[in-house]
Amino acid sequence: MLSRRIIPCLDVREGQVVKGVRFRDHAVVGGIVELALRYRDAGADELVFYDITASPEGRSVDRAWVERVARKIDIPFCVAGGIRSVEDARAVLHAGADKVSINSPALERPALIAELADAFGVQCVVVGIDSLRDADGQWRVRQYTGDPSRTQALPRRTLDWIAQAQDLGAGEIVLNCMGSDGVRQGYDVAQLAQARAVCEVPLIASGGAGAAEHFRDVFTGADVDGALAASVFHSGAIDVSALKRWLANQGVMVRVAIEPETCDG
- Give the nearest distance from C-beta 159 to other proteins in angstroms: 17
Between 49 and 120, CB nearer to other proteins: 120
Q: Is 223 one of the catalytic residues?
A: no
Between 25 and 74, CB nearer to other proteins: 74
Between 189 and 257, CB nearer to other proteins: 257
Q: Is 130 one of the catalytic residues?
A: yes
Distance of alpha carbon 202 from alpha carbon 188, whole angstroms:
17
- Give the nearest distance from C-beta 158 to other proteins in angstroms: 19
User: What is the maximum span of the chain, computed from C-alpha positions, in angstroms?
Assistant: 56
Between 40 and 216, CB nearer to other proteins: 40
Cα Rg for the chain, rounded, in angstroms?
A: 17
- Give the nearest distance from C-beta 165 to other proteins in angstroms: 14
Contact 130, 158 (CB under 8 A): no
235-244 long-range contacts (CB < 8 A, ≥24 apart) are 237/210, 238/209, 238/211, 238/212, 239/42, 240/6, 240/8, 240/39, 240/42, 240/43, 240/44, 241/42, 241/43, 241/265, 242/212, 243/6, 243/212, 243/215, 244/6, 244/43
Of these residues, 51, 88, 130, 181, which one is catalytic?
Answer: 130
- Give the nearest distance from C-beta 255 to other proteins in angstroms: 4
Residues facing 172 on adjacent strands:
126
Binding site for other proteins (CB under 8 A): 1-3, 5, 40, 45, 67, 70-72, 74-76, 93-96, 98, 120-124, 171-172, 200-203, 223, 225-226, 255, 257-258
Amino acid type, 120: F
Residues facing 206 on adjacent strands:
176, 228
- Give the nearest distance from C-beta 66 to other proteins in angstroms: 10
Question: Who's near 216: CB < 8 A, 6+ residues apart?
Answer: 247, 250, 252
Between 41 and 179, CB nearer to other proteins: 41
Distance of alpha carbon 114 from alpha carbon 98, whole angstroms:
17
Q: How many CA atoms lie within 13 A of 59 on its CB side?
A: 7
Instruction: Please give the positions annotated as active site.
Output: 11, 130
